[in-house]
Chains A and B, each alone.
Chain A
Amino acid sequence: MKKLSVLQKTIITLVMTTVLLAVIVPIMFFLANAFSNGTEIYEYPKTPIISFSVTVYVEYNELNNEYTVKYVNRRGEQQNAINSNSGLLLSNYFEQYFSVYKTGDELLEDFEIVKTEGPKEFTYAKNMFHNFKTFFYITSKAEEALVNSIVAVLFTILISLTLGSMCGYAIARFRFRGKDQISVFLLIVRMFPTVGISIPLAVILIRFNLFDTMLGLAILYSLPNIALTSWITSSIFVGINRELEEASLVFGANGFQTFMKITLPMALPAMAASSMYAFLTAWNDTISALILTNDHPTLALAVYQAIGDNTTNLQYAAAGSIILIIPALIFTFVVRKYVNQMWGSVSV
């Protein structure tokens, strides 16, 4: 093929740069927000760089016998923060608004020098986990929600892999009447919006005593994923060499052993890909969790409820979202290798 001209190269570079900036800039600002302390979050204009420390300017006011603490932002401007000589008040203020964890005595000891040497700037390291701690503190049931999400994910993977791969195996390996109809049915189930199922499903789950449980949620999440898994695995099972299985049978293994020792390991990439989809469905969903749970939210739902319509104190919700993002990010990219393998032969 012909090489690209200079103009074309320039256009491609420009487009790529724009797209990369559009992806990275929001994420950088978001991270900076998630690690902001209670003062930085209201700073304007904002900087897309995470700060790790806080600088304060401290004066001693002899008249009232107290310290005047001013917050120094990253452009060097000073902002009034607190006037006090009480160690407890200072310590509380530093924790709440600066994310700095220091006892009152430590702060007073540091500030003592101001009395003799005049106003001075101090720099303290921020506790980077402050927002995460506060998120779990102000969001009731956040810890439980994290566990709930993991449980729901595991149930979903378990149900959709077991039922889905059985289905996929049947479709791939046996000839029977109505096979085409089954394939079409599975595709319809896959495309059917879970929202439409969630509300009436609540009625059924209540009957089975599964309402407001993670198993109940997993049952819903598995609906599209069983179909998806059976579709992914059937296309893999078709590709697996049948003679290998026959050889195993000839050497005296029974059907189950053959499946466990030969077929299953070869279908592993498909399983990994399917479990990734199952994970993402269960981990990312909020609407069904909203409908099918009462007192036991999943993490995505807890973060959703934590923010509501608020526009203040977004740093805590942002910290909560980081906890939400990390597993999804890791999972997506770890399993991507397998998924890429799949995309070679099958497109999703």
Chain B
Amino acid sequence: MQNSVIPNQVKPSFKEQMRKVFNKRTAPFWLLLPTFLYYAIFWLSPILISIKEVFTTLDGSFTLFGNFKFIWEQVSFLPALRNTAVFAAVSVILQFLIALTLAIMINRKFKGQKLILFLIMIPMAITPTAVAIVWKTGLISSGWINSLLQSLNFVDETIPFLGLRGLDAVMLIILIDTWTVMPSVLIILIAGLGNIPEETKEAAYIFGASKWRIIKDVTIPLLKPSIITAVILRMIAAVQVWAVVVMVMGFSNVPFLVERIAYYVGPLSGLTGANKLAYTYSFLTALIVFSVTLIYFKVSKRGTALDRGTQK
């Protein structure tokens, strides 16, 4: 008998207690809590560890600039910084210009528009590792790029692409990168163009604006949020390029920031100081990306698509 009585007495009070803890006011807290714990453990504490590592020496004592001085002394540091900067700037501008031209051309309806868009998007879906192999099979001296150039009579002798160093090699990697990521810029811009009401262009046309003026004074200003989003997202990804570089050019031949990290945790792992260098490089990379993100916040203010999404 007791068994049936006790639950009846306990249940309501338990339910009430539960209601006190789980109600409309506390719901967001419970919904957000797991994510916050997750980020505290797996995001914040790694960052703290990384900061600690960057500001301590190998034997554990505090140093403000020691590791940065260490990284500065590496022969490959300045080239890595320069290559990454050149790569990020040139590739983003190049990809943006190509994507904008294509977006404006594709945006008007014509036969086969969907097919063309589909074909152009294929490189975007190819894994970076595979992209590197697609191009490596072309860049070796008996590869398909030399085959193509020679059968079209553009060159007489094979070009040793893989022997390129310095900025020439960076340009080569920019071209490969453009091949694979330009479609993702294109898609953002096309989506942005689709959101521009046709009436604005018609109005400008009725008032006698030329096509070029419509593009320059109506389309591009209205497209600004999409442009900012696309450029910043690309910039952040461009700073972190490495797999293509290593797979095509090999380690250390054309240094990049993240390529250096991979070098110190890969082939050089276990060597004294390698770990410190990796930490410092990753700290610097994170710092650069973070600054770009902040600039993005500043530039976009409330107007861009990304912000609109988060503010809703």
Interface of A: prevailing SS? helix
| Interchain nearest-CB distance for A15 vs B (Å) | 6
Say which residue of B137, B187, B239 sits within 8 Å of A314 (CB atoms): B137
B150 at the interface (CB under 8 A from A): yes
Does B77 make an interface contact (CB < 8 A)?
Answer: no
List residues of B (281-310) whose CB comes within 8 Å of A's CBs: 282-283, 285-286, 289-290, 292-293, 296-297, 305-306, 308-310
Mark each residue of chain B from 124 to 153: 1 if its CB lies under 8 Å from any CB of chain A, else 0.
111111101111111010111011101100
Beta-carbon nearest neighbor of B51 in chain A: A200
Interface size class of chain B, counting residues whose CB lies under 8 Å from the partner chain: 35 or more
Shortest distance between the CB of B264 and any CB in chain A (Å):
9
Kindly state the separation between the CA atoms of A183 and B308 in the bound complex, as whole angstroms: 11
Cβ–Cβ < 8 Å partners of B197 in chain A: none
Closest CB of chain B to A286's CB: distance in Å? 5
| Stretch from A52-60, A100-108, A231-239 forming part of the interface with B | A231-239
Residue of B nearest to A303 (CB): B129
Contact indicator per residue, chain A 225-248, by CB within 8 Å of chain B (1) or not (0):
010001110110010000000000
**Residues A23 and B286 in contact, CB atoms below 8 Å apart:** no
A304, B242: Cα distance in complex, Å: 12
For residue A128, CB closer than 8 A to chain B, the reply is no
Chain B interface (Cβ < 8 Å from any Cβ of A): 24, 27-29, 31-32, 34-35, 38-39, 41-43, 45-47, 49-50, 53, 98, 101-102, 105, 116, 118-130, 132-138, 140, 142-144, 146-148, 150-151, 162, 179, 187-188, 191-192, 194-195, 201-202, 205, 211, 225-226, 229, 233, 236, 239-240, 242-243, 246-247, 250-251, 258, 261-262, 265-266, 275, 278-279, 282-283, 285-286, 289-290, 292-293, 296-297, 305-306, 308-312
9 A-B pairs with least C-beta separation: A196-B286, A45-B147, A321-B130, A29-B144, A200-B46, A170-B31, A200-B49, A183-B310, A332-B125
Given known contacts A235-B309, A287-B262, A303-B130, what 17 new A-B pairs fall within 8 Å (CB)?
A23-B120, A26-B138, A29-B138, A30-B138, A46-B147, A193-B285, A196-B47, A197-B42, A204-B49, A284-B128, A307-B133, A317-B133, A332-B121, A332-B125, A347-B188, A347-B191, A348-B305
User: Which residues on A are within 8 Å of B, measured CB to CB?
Assistant: 1-2, 12, 15-16, 19-20, 22-27, 29-30, 32-33, 42-48, 163-164, 166-167, 169-172, 174, 176, 180, 182-184, 186-189, 191-193, 195-201, 203-204, 219-220, 222-223, 226, 230-232, 234-235, 238, 283-284, 286-287, 290-291, 300, 303-304, 307, 309, 311, 314, 317-318, 320-322, 324-325, 328-329, 332-333, 343-344, 346-348
